[in-house]
């Protein structure tokens, strides 16, 4: 018992004093606290009762599958494709769709149940305007035409022989983080609120290689129409600088061929741009002098300004963040030490810093999990000593271009009423004395 107390004291010392109101600790405690944490584990987190002592003597873990079956019971056989543990089946996407057209709608990444920065492919969000088409790679081609010297058609076999690059990038729907203009804060979990956002490692062909082969003169050709082979024929206009810049024809997602939901056999990937621009099931690129003003960019994805005007072609997803844990649906287990963690991202590049507040007034800088990559999800973490009283948890991200998340009030003022796209205001979770976490406006 005595040594347990000492270990706990050592851990407390390593954590240091709070650096911001309501018990937020210095990020150093997270970056360098691992060694000290072993002290806490001995003191608080592991069972150390008579049963555990006896187990240590006998060398048998008190709870183990081996004690529940005989040593000779073999485990499950091999499978061609692995699936998550049967005990994790509730970690899934929630979805909403149009009853008259069940393929039209979206499913969301359950960020409140995940950790790390890469979204498992089966949990990548989906936004489909008319269902997921079934496309055989043998029956699919990519056409590049319009203002080019040589119109080209690529079979999948041909494309698979081109040089590729690999990058970790987020995809975020412009409609993510929606509903924050509502009079009352919506009581829903982090996935429901921020889950039209996912991050994968994408491998594909730099689009510039294909456009150069077709012969594009960027002094005359200013835009590129990208069209999908789905029933919605979803299409968007892309500025030629982006197309000749970091745009990619993505063929692989997290090491395997891109999932049907994400655009199999290929999608356009425009790092940092609103999700809608990342045309899935891509089959046609047309180079032109002007935007095409497709139905998808005239009826939607514009930004309503206070005077009633709408700004069009606002491509970049703004700097943003949210706390994924603790969050709505998460009940605190009494006063004590908690990890606050969440995600930050920006279409402008890397995340420079994330600050966290537990009292709505003072801020402590969070530790960022390396590597911090541009236009990717960045994980932040901070230790929090919850004293059991009411607290309001917020996060505020700054990107490398010095863009900072505005308050919700400032964001609402900057746009016309009902502007639903690209909300990046600061969001908050509150916990009461009972440890119930709810969504609040700050
Ligand atoms: N062809 C096609 N491309 C599409 C869409 C679509 O419905 N059809 N949805 C767009 C929208 S609105 C978004 S947010 C992203 C979503 O990508 P994901 O479903 O891979 O997450 O794909 C975009 N590309
Ligand atoms: Mo979207």
Within-domain flag for 196: yes
272 CA distance to ligand 2 centroid (A)? Answer: 13
Q: Are 129 and 232 in contact (CB under 8 A)?
A: yes
The residue ranges of the chain whose pLDDT is under 50 are 1, 42
Residues 6+ apart with CB under 8 A from 6: none
Bridge partners of 198?
Answer: 171
pLDDT at 67: 59
For residue 202 and ligand 1, the question of a CB distance below 6 A is answered with no
Neighbours of ion ligand 2 (CB under 5 A): 127, 173, 275-276
Cβ atoms within 10 Å of 51's Cβ, excluding its own: 11
pLDDT digit string, tens, across residues 77-93: 999 999 999 999 999 99
Within-domain flag for 221: yes
Pairing of β 24-25 and β 256-257: unpaired
Total domains, the chain: 1
Q: Are 278 and 315 in contact (CB under 8 A)?
A: no
Distance spanning both ends of the chain, measured CA to CA? 44
Within-domain flag for 201: yes
Nearest ligand 1 atom, CA 233 = 1
For residue 125 and ligand 1, the question of a CB distance below 6 A is answered with yes
Within-domain flag for 11: no
Residue whose CA is closest, atom 20 of ligand 1? 262
For residue 383 and ligand 1, the question of a CB distance below 6 A is answered with no
Within-domain flag for 341: no
Question: Which ligand places an atom closest to the C-alpha of 269?
Answer: 1
Nearest ligand 1 atom, CA 281 = 1
Nearest ligand 1 atom, CA 274 = 14
- Domain span holding position 184: 121-301
105 CA distance to ligand 2 centroid (A)? Answer: 10
- SS3 state of residue 41: helix
Within-domain flag for 59: no
Within-domain flag for 376: no
Tokens of residue 116, six digits: 């790390």
For residue 278 and ligand 1, the question of a CB distance below 6 A is answered with yes
Ligand 1 test: best mutation among 93, 102, 128, 204, most atoms within 8 Å of CB?
A: 128
Residue whose CA is closest, atom 10 of ligand 1? 276
Q: What is the pTM of this model?
A: 0.94
What CATH number corresponds to the domain at position 229? 3.90.420.10
Cα–Cα distances in Å, from 57 out to 48, 50, 60, 230?
A: 13, 11, 8, 63
99 CA distance to ligand 2 centroid (A)? Answer: 19
344 CA distance to ligand 1 centroid (A)? Answer: 21
For residue 281 and ligand 1, the question of a CB distance below 6 A is answered with yes
């Amino acid at each position: 018992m005595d040594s347990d107390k000492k270990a706990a004291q050592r851990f407390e010392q390593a954590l240091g004093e709070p650096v911001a109101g309501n018990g937020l600790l210095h990020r150093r405690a997270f970056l360098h606290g691992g060694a000290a944490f072993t002290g806490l584990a001995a003191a608080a987190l592991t069972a150390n009762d008579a049963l555990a002592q006896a187990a240590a003597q006998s060398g048998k873990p008190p709870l183990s599958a081996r004690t529940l079956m005989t040593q000779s019971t073999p485990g499950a056989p091999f499978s061609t494709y692995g699936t998550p543990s049967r005990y994790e089946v509730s970690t899934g996407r929630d979805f909403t769709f149009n009853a008259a057209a069940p393929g039209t709608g979206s499913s969301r990444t359950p960020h409140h149940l995940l950790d790390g920065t890469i979204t498992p492919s089966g949990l990548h969000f989906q936004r489909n305007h008319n269902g997921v088409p079934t496309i055989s790679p043998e029956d699919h081609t990519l056409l590049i035409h319009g203002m080019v010297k040589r119109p080209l058609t690529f079979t999948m076999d041909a494309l698979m022989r081109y040089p590729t690059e690999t990058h970790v990038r987020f995809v975020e729907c412009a409609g993510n983080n929606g509903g924050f203009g509502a009079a009352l804060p919506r009581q829903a979990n982090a996935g429901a609120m921020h889950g039209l956002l996912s991050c994968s490692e994408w491998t594909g062909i730099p689009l510039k290689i294909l456009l150069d082969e077709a012969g594009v003169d960027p002094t005359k050709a200013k835009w590129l129409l990208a069209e999908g082979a789905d029933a919605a024929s979803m299409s968007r206009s892309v500025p030629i600088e982006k197309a000749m810049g970091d745009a990619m024809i993505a063929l692989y997602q997290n090491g395997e061929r891109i999932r049907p939901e994400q655009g199999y056999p290929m999608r356009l990937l425009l790092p940092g741009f609103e999700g809608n621009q990342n045309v899935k099931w891509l089959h046609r690129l047309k180079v032109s002098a002007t935007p095409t003003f497709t139905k998808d960019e005239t009826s939607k994805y514009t930004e309503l300004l206070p005077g009633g005007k709408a700004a069009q072609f606002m491509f970049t997803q703004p700097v943003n963040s949210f706390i994924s844990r603790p969050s709505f649906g998460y009940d605190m287990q009494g006063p004590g030490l908690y990890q606050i963690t969440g995600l930050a991202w920006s279409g402008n590049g890397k995340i420079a810093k994330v600050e966290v507040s537990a009292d709505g007034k003072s801020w402590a800088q969070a530790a960022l999990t390396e590597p911090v990559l541009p236009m990717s999800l960045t994980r932040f973490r901070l230790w929090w000593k919850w004293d059991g009283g009411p607290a309001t948890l917020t996060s505020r991200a700054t990107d490398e271009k010095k863009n900072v998340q505005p308050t919700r009030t400032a964001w609402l003022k900057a746009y016309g009423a009902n502007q639903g796209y690209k909300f990046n205001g600061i969001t908050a979770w509150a916990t009461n004395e009972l440890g119930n976490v709810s969504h609040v406006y700050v």
